[in-house]
A and B are shown apart, each in its own frame.
Chain A
Amino acid sequence: MIGVTKTFGSVIATNNVSFDIRYGEVLSLLGENGSGKTTLMNMLSGIYFPDAGEIQVGGTPVSIRSPKDAYDLKIGMIHQHFKLVDVFTAAENIVLGLQEHGKYDKKEVARRVREICAKYGFDIDPEQKVYTMTVSQKQTLEIVKVLYRGADILILDEPTAVLTLQEIDRLFAVIRNMRADGKAIVIITHKLNEVLAVSDRVTILRHGEYIGTVETKDATEASLTEMMVGKKVELDIARDLIEEKELRLAVRDLTVVNGDGITVLDNISFDAYSGEILGVAGISGCGQKELLEAIAGLQKTAANASVLFTDPQSGESKQLIGTNPKKIRQLGVHLSFVPEDRLGMGLVGSMGMTENMMLKNYSDGKSLFLDRKQPRALAEQILHDLEVVTPGINTPVRRLSGGNVQKVLVGREIAAAPTVLMTAYAVRGLDINTSYTIYNLLNEQKKNGVSVIYVGEDLDVLLQLCDRIMVLCGGKITGIVDGRTATKEEVGALMVNNH
């Protein structure tokens, strides 16, 4: 790719980027969120068309106007969000959209699928329906689909985001097999350890600019981070030990059955204390969301569940089960919650910062009309303190970048002077600097005696940040370990305990 540029309005997604991909090699495309990695690859796979620049394949300039053009050039992309038809079988999904003449020959397709699987070490049943597959199987299917179409250049967008440690190892083995077969493989990622583990070379992007390409064997986590962020970043998270802890939340026998009759939380009991960060680890979808929502009064729970809140001033116990967010506020419980779905739950995307500040307390006071004065002051304060980048406090927050959206949300929740602060995937999709801002904010809250519950997905961070880590697997607690002494392998094993 030579001098490739793509703009969206005034946003320059990639600016004059040039680099090369080699057959028989794994190239990592490294950059923070919003650095243009995916946009760049989307241009290679025919989803976007570059505004300027040239793409050459095998030395010949080509123009890729649609995904079909890309397939014709033997380029295949495996997207972060799978593009599969749930009610079809694996084989049906593979041939879907292929413009082959003649009859759909099930046996022939199955034979070729098995052939590909055997060659690279995949494990897939051509007759299995997609909706019965695990995330890892779906991803395998996507890769097989691309190989079936004869791709020689494979692009994987954040392939490890949804996988467990064991599944990642298996994926890397397959990638190495494909490399040995002479395929060119591009992995889009922002996880440094994976870059170092699997790739031969690393190309780094920053804010849409090409920064450089280095041989993996010459790189370290620190050197890559520096290239990615543009300055040296301290990768350690401070963790103070607070000696005086009080019981803040006592969760007992919490069971949640969802609308489909599936038990998503099974008899959960634990305590959360003031002055500590309790980490919650687990593969996504193991009940983390339901756990936080149940505490926040947003989930129906089974009958005997109990969440007792101990008031720091009066020492009174207050039952939170059977309430709703409004009642919890009326009980005088300062419970702050940063939900996973920031714009779909925590904020109103079409409103500006001011209006979002009053989301939880707009109804205070007797007046029929809104008081915008205090929310505006708060919005300005957060804008200033957390260095939110926005055209103005009245710009719809939907238009802000992910990191700034999160700053607005976390800023509001912390401004509410919480005694319990729950966060779900607080740093997902954020760049390193913003992530560390959030870690610092959480640590500050902990020092102020707040009980922090941190649901996370990055084990390294959980182990550095949290005082204790509770591991969920399939809706059950498989262990609560000390964050200071536990190892990554230990927690990883607990995460897949029941499988």
Chain B
Amino acid sequence: MIQNPIKEPLVRIVKRDALSSGKAWGIRIASLLLALVLCAVIIFSITKLNPLSVYSTMFRGAFGTARRSWQTIRDAMTLLCISLGLAPAFMMRFWNIGAEGQILVGGIATAGCMIYLGDKLPTPLLFVVMLVACLAAGALWGFIPAFFKAKFGTNETLFTLMMNYIAIQLTSYFVAIWEKPFGSNTVGIINDRTNAGWFQPLFGLQYGWNVAIVLVLTFAMYFYLKHSKQGYEIQVVGESENTARYAGINVSRVIIRTMILSGAVCGLSGFIVVAGAGHTISTSTSGGRGFTAIIVAWLSKFNPFVMVICSFLLTFLDKGAAEIASKFNLNDYVSDILEGIILFFVLGSEFFINYRLIFRQKPSADVNADDPKKEVEAA
């Protein structure tokens, strides 16, 4: 009557105990190494290049010269700044994928101040105005979707995404207005002669201000999220709106307030990119970093200090990949593949931290009938 040969499933997924953080980091590092091995295999099979020389080229691409190191630091700081902006929003489970737009409007505001006020205001005042303008622009871009979410329950994912397109069109519009030289369809380097509104070296370091601003922000964000009452409210709202209401938290107000903050910090990164790095504005000023920062924020589980590491890892990969693409005459996509593999492994390691796999054992090993057998019987 019964046709059912005994067969254990080949692989089973079993939940793990909470791992010690040391072991968890071990798994993360092991997966990173594994990713490098797999990349090496792929590099060799496709290009016949020595993987080690490719890796050392990657490293040189990011840290080969002092100039390159500084650029890596600068870009990592920008990415970190955006991630810091996204952290409160995502902690509240508000899917702010509109950082791109928030960066752009912050950048537009900064560029506008530099162009119109660069020669008219004394430097300290100019920076204050630029700072206020970029924060306000980013805050506005964060406020709009938050307002509609809080009052009408709109979907913030779609809303913030659409706000990106508005910001891109707005940028194109201003690029057309500020075009220089005429017909180039770019803004060019703003204030290239006077350097008005440019970040000056701090303690002799070219990107000193970038580093200083973002690191101060890192500490501030850590204390805000971890130790302030508002940070506590963000966590409660993110966990459950019902719990928040039960605790007497005004959920709408927290959503709006947090998104104003999130947008403002992203707007600030627009300021850093325009005034502290590119000194120009274009639709590619944000350059997809608003999305990369989402990965950074989640990878670090919203801990600002872990974000520092993650920002550096991603920026390093980006720089290194670009370098091997040009150095070995490889197609750009090869570097994208490597980047993808490494990210996949880093993210995938979280699965192995939470679960383990059990493979089917040899038939002889799996019968352990050590207790008195009780027959399951059918009458």
Contacts and interface: CB of A to CB of B under 8 A. Distances in A.
B182 interface: no
A344 B2 contact: no
B239 A350 contact: yes
A69 interface: yes
A227 B18 CA distance: 32
Interface in B239-253: 239-240, 242-243, 245-250
B192 interface: no
A347 B246 CA distance: 9
A223 B5 CA distance: 41
B4 A23 contact: no
A58 B375 CA distance: 9
A73 B227 CA distance: 57
B369 A9 contact: no
A188 B236 CA distance: 36
Interface in B188-203: none
B236 A359 contact: yes
Interface residues of A, number: 61
B379 interface: yes
Contacts of A52: 368
B373 interface: yes
B2 A65 contact: no
Contact of A345 (B2, B12, B242): B242
Interface in A277-335: 296, 298, 324-327, 329
Contact of A347 (B8, B12, B243, B373): B243
Contact of B376 (A1, A8, A327): A1
Contacts of A180: none
Given A325-B248, A350-B239, A56 B4 contact: no
A348 B240 contact: yes
A287 to B, nearest CB: 18
A362 B228 CA distance: 10
Contact of A3 (B6, B229, B369, B377): B369
Interface string B293-306: 00000000000000
Contact of A49 (B9, B240, B248): B9
Contacts of B2: 57-58, 60, 62, 73
A69 B6 CA distance: 12
B16 interface: yes
Nearest to B367: A54
Contact of A339 (B15, B246, B368): B246
Given A3-B371, A337-B246, A63 B4 contact: yes
A7 B358 CA distance: 13
A113 B247 CA distance: 50
Contacts of B369: 2-3, 54
Nearest to A365: B229
A329 B1 CA distance: 68
Nearest to B371: A3
B216 interface: no
Contact of B6 (A63, A337, A339, A363): A63
A56 B17 contact: no
A18 interface: yes
A300 B368 CA distance: 61
A302 B334 CA distance: 65
Identify which of B1, B5, B246, B367 gathers the most chain A CB atoms within 10 Å of its CB: B246
Contacts of A60: 2, 4
Interface in B269-290: none
A225 to B, nearest CB: 25
A58 B379 CA distance: 8
Contacts of B240: 343-345, 348-349
Contacts of B379: 22-24
Contacts of B229: 362-363, 367-370
Contacts of A337: 246
B243 A359 contact: yes
A59 interface: yes
A65 B7 contact: yes
B247 A63 contact: no
A19 interface: yes
A203 to B, nearest CB: 12
Interface in A51-102: 51-52, 54-63, 65, 69, 72-73
A56 B375 contact: yes
Given A18-B371, A20-B377, A370 B245 contact: no
B235 interface: yes
A62 B376 CA distance: 11
B235 A348 contact: yes
Contacts of A126: none
A346 B376 contact: no
A177 interface: no
A410 to B, nearest CB: 15
Interface string A187-199: 0000000000000
Contact of B374 (A2, A9, A358, A360): A2
Contact of A349 (B1, B8, B16, B239): B239
B25 interface: no
A369 B228 CA distance: 4
A16 B243 contact: no
A358 B232 CA distance: 10
Contacts of B17: 9-10
Given A16-B371, A370-B232, A72 B247 contact: no
Given A9-B17, A18-B371, A22-B377, A345 B7 contact: no
B227 A325 contact: no
Contact of A359 (B18, B230, B247): B247
B4 A69 contact: yes
A49 B228 CA distance: 46
A364 B134 CA distance: 34
B128 interface: no
A326 B1 CA distance: 66
A351 interface: yes
Given A360-B248, A368-B228, A344 B243 contact: yes
B239 A57 contact: no
A2 B235 contact: no
A9 B228 CA distance: 35
8 contacts: A2-B374, A23-B379, A65-B7, A327-B248, A355-B232, A359-B243, A368-B230, A369-B228
The 9 A-B pairs with the shortest beta carbon distances in the complex, nearest first, are: A326-B248, A325-B248, A58-B378, A56-B376, A9-B17, A345-B242, A62-B4, A10-B17, A18-B374
Given A327-B248, A369-B228, 4 more contacts: A2-B371, A9-B16, A296-B246, A348-B240
